[in-house]
A = this chain, B = another copy of it.
Amino acid sequence: MTTGADVPKQVDHEQRRVQIAEALQRLTTRAGLEGVSLRQVAAEAGMSMGSVQHYFRTKDEMLRYALEHRHRLRSERITAKVLADGPPTPRSILRACLVEILPRDADSEADFLIGVAYFIRAVADPAMAKAFGEGMPELLEFFAGQVRQAQEAGDVPAWADPETEAALLWAIADSQGSEILMGHRTPAQAISTVDYYLDRLFTN
C-alpha cells in the first residue's frame, strides 16, 4: 500500500533503524548481545524506548536487522577495498574478503566481536542460528564463483573443487579470526597463512 508520498518517510524509517542497529553494535562490542537491553539501546541511540519499539517489535527483530546491516557494511567495505587495490582479479577479491573478515584493527575487531556475539546466541537458539547462517550460502557461492572464474582463466588447477575451496577459504578466515581475538595469533600471522593458501591455490 505504498504511495509516492510515503517514500521520504520510509527513508527516514530506514535511517532510524540504522541508528538503532549501530547503537546495538556499539553496545555489543562492549558487553555482548546477552547483556544488552532495549533500554540501553534506546539510551545509546539517543531515542525513547517507545521509538525503538516502534521500529522493532522484539529484540530478535532488532538483532536480525542489525545482522543484515552488518553484512551490508562489510560488503561495502570489501568492494571499496577491492576497487582501491587496482583492477580486481579473483585472487585480489578473495584476499580482500579474507583479510576483511580477520580482526586487524579496532573496527574489524568490533565487527568480529559482533559476529562472536551472534554465534554465542545462535549456539543455544536455532532461530538465531538460521538467521546467522542466512548470508553463508551467498558468501560461499561468491567464493566458489571466484575460484571457478580463476579456473576458467587457467589460474587455478582443474582438480580444485570450487565449493570445497570456498569452505576452506571461509574456515581459514573464521578460525584464525577467533585465534587473533584470543591473543593466540597475530593478524600478521593470520594474513601470511591466507597468502600461503592463496599461493598454493593460484598457480598464476
Contacts and interface: CB of A to CB of B under 8 A. Distances in A.
A18 interface: no
B182 A171 contact: no
22 contacts: A32-B123, A113-B123, A116-B120, A119-B178, A129-B183, A129-B184, A130-B183, A132-B182, A136-B179, A136-B184, A161-B196, A167-B185, A167-B189, A168-B193, A168-B196, A168-B197, A171-B174, A171-B175, A172-B175, A174-B174, A174-B178, A175-B175
A123 to B, nearest CB: 6
Contact of A116 (B123, B175, B182, B184): B123
Nearest to A35: B124
B133 A184 contact: yes
Interface of A: 32, 113, 116, 119-120, 122-124, 126, 129-130, 132-133, 136, 161, 164, 167-168, 170-172, 174-176, 178-179, 181-185, 189, 192-193, 196-197
A178 to B, nearest CB: 7
Nearest to A185: B167
Nearest to A177: B175
A126 B183 contact: yes
Contacts of A132: 182
A64 to B, nearest CB: 15
The interface centre, meaning the residue of A119, A123, A179 with most chain B CB atoms within 10 A of its CB, is A123
Given A126-B183, A174-B174, 12 more contacts: A32-B123, A32-B124, A129-B182, A129-B183, A133-B184, A161-B196, A164-B193, A167-B176, A168-B193, A171-B171, A171-B175, A172-B175
